[in-house]
Structure 1
């Protein structure tokens, strides 16, 4: 049984069920903190938090804290691109050279016909990452800096055959460059204006959450030989379109609702919404696409990590649900972080389906 909404009593019951599970995960794995939530097309249904914001600091993790989404940003970038497509500024078959003709003869010719669709489905042939994400750090204009990194990284032959799958953060940055060129605005400005503000995602921003040096928001944590090291570092700014968004769980739920029935249609063109979740293999535009009987069919899922945070989301359109979990830490072994998050998602589904 799936309830369309929870009464206050049902929320309390579910918190009573998930809270000890989160506490046990923290105790067993010695992680600082974790948050989890269930949402629907109407918004957040309930959320839970356990642990602390910062290792060796007593401030507790809270359900309205801001969390780093890592590569779960990719679905947001793809949605931004769909909005630009509905405005006639791009289309899914737009090539890199069509958007940026000045790159002709500056990048390897095999990249010239890489389309927007191939970029967001990781089939452009581009390597996983830039040659050096931290290059050109003296360049104040982020749009110019991204273009310089693009030119440096695409001068040599593709990492794999165009059309074959290779997960690529660089590809998402390049897609961001295409959006920047056709609009004249940075990816950061575009996604705020066209996605976050229309959805009322007031907490959404970029980089590590919180005030530098303070514990007003959770810190990320790196696993080291001596334990967890709290950190407010993040990926390089040019990587933004691939993985630098942070926000609250409630605001994340507003974005996830775009792929749930009866949600706020900031994209009026249903065909464009459908294109975002049309997979090539098992990967669509920022979403892994799978089938699971527990949620009556299609699951849209993604993990995200900047090596200091770890997030996982499941969106189940057929039952009007999204399930979220974020740890403010990431193990060196990504599989360990993924296993913990998978355990929480499984528990959320189980609790959600109980009468």
Structure 2
């Protein structure tokens, strides 16, 4: 079944922050996580708050790894983060630019010289920035038939992404170039470009380059459904949560990796993102609205209107079984991540509200 990716960035913004409160104690945070999970009817829930130094200010998990198993979720378990992969795919490209292996402003013909001859003229001036900001003109996703036929594909993921690039870049754009249209396909094609850079450096593909050069080893980062610990869930015909296991049915096709199949434990994820709170030039670029200040999206980050705690950047990710929400509060020096292994609209609302409560609890002061 086709797994649509969640793009409701603004809906998960910290729009209605409660009054500032004292930071939660360890016991209070655990009680709150338990309560939110139970009231929202979730199988498992996890939350972490980290400061700009990468120090964990709060961490708690609640519920079962697999519904009905009695196997309690653990703080070190990995969670599928869906489209929250996107900001890290953009960061990987930024690191390649820093190393002189890639360039900002590269156009699709420059990214794909091997495909340029058969590329539609409409793509000639589309840049890597437009892929990362969902303004390339590409469709939201590959055709539904692609999802149905590639979930169990044995073809290398880099070959699958090249085939998609060949197919979609040989014809006119689906939408208007320069106009926002959330696109997993755009990130998959950006991934195909990174595949080529990875190969030139001796790596098999985007995934190998990502895991070998961007994130620390031994922390639990990986692609696809976690192979141990927590499992994703979906409602069955009777409305009950049912585990989707650890196989191909537990995620989108593997070739969608650059757009959203990462998994990672809460703490390593939050600590890694804390570097955006003390940004260098690359991080600054990735957090800057594109193409101008009127945009509400940057490169894998949604721009949320400033409130009493200052500006907020956020994103969400879901493969319709998991849900991960990330919020970055630069003026407060906070990263807040709340995840569940049981996606629903009720879950999305609960995670959004809980993130707002955590922001109010751990913030140091209101913004002017």
Same fold (TM over 0.5): yes
SS of the aligned residue for 2:331 comes to helix
Partner-residue secondary structure (3-state), 1:91: coil
- 2:296 matches 1:282: yes
Q: Pick from 42, 54, 69: which aligns with 2:81?
A: 69
CA distance, structure 2, for counterparts of residue 299 and residue 325 of structure 1: 15
| Paired residues for 1:89-108 under 5 Å | 89-108=101-120
Residue 25 of structure 2 is aligned to residue 14 of structure 1? yes
Structure 1 position 148, deviation (Å): 1.0
Match of 2:18 in 1: none
Deviation of 1:139 (Å): 4.9
Deviating beyond 6 angstroms after TM superposition, the runs of 4 or more aligned structure 1 residues are none
**In structure 1, what is the Cα distance between the partners aligned to 2:153 and 2:337?**
37
> Cα distance 1:336–1:154, how it changes in 2: closer, same or farther (>3 A)?
farther
For residue 237 of structure 1, the aligned residue among 233, 254, 267 is 254
Name the counterpart of 1:7.
none
* Pair 1:228–1:287, CA change in 2 (3 A): same
* CA distance in 2: counterparts of 1:239 and 1:157, whole angstroms: 22
Q: Any gaps of 5 or more consecutive residues in structure 1?
A: 1-9, 212-216, 264-269
Find out whether 1:316 has 2:329 as its counterpart. yes
Unaligned runs of 5+ in 2: 1-21
SS in 1 for 2:348: helix
Deviation at 1:316, TM superposition (A): 1.1
Structure 1 residues 28 and 156, CA, compared in 2 at 3 Å: closer, same or farther? Answer: same
Count of aligned pairs: 327
Partner Cα separation in structure 2 for residue 112 and residue 134 of structure 1: 31
Deviations 1:266-316 (A, max 9, x none): xxxx32221111112111110001233332x22111000011100101011
The answer on 1:50 being equivalent to 2:62 is yes
Matched-pair contact (CA < 8 Å) for 1:119–1:175: yes
Match for residue 271 of structure 1?
281
Matches within 5 A, 1:192-271: 192-197=211-216, 202-211=219-228, 217-226=229-238, 227-231=240-244, 232=246, 233-261=250-278, 270-271=280-281
2:350 to 329, 335, 340: 340
Q: How far off its partner does 1:138 sit?
A: 4.7
- 1:48-102: CA deviations, max 9, x gaps? 1111111111011222211111000001101000001112222221011112122
Deviates more, 1:127-136 or 1:45-54: 127-136
1:144 is aligned to 2:162: no
How far apart, in 2, do the equivalents of 1:27 and 1:337 lie? 11
Q: Name whichever of 71-80 and 184-193 sits farther off.
A: 184-193
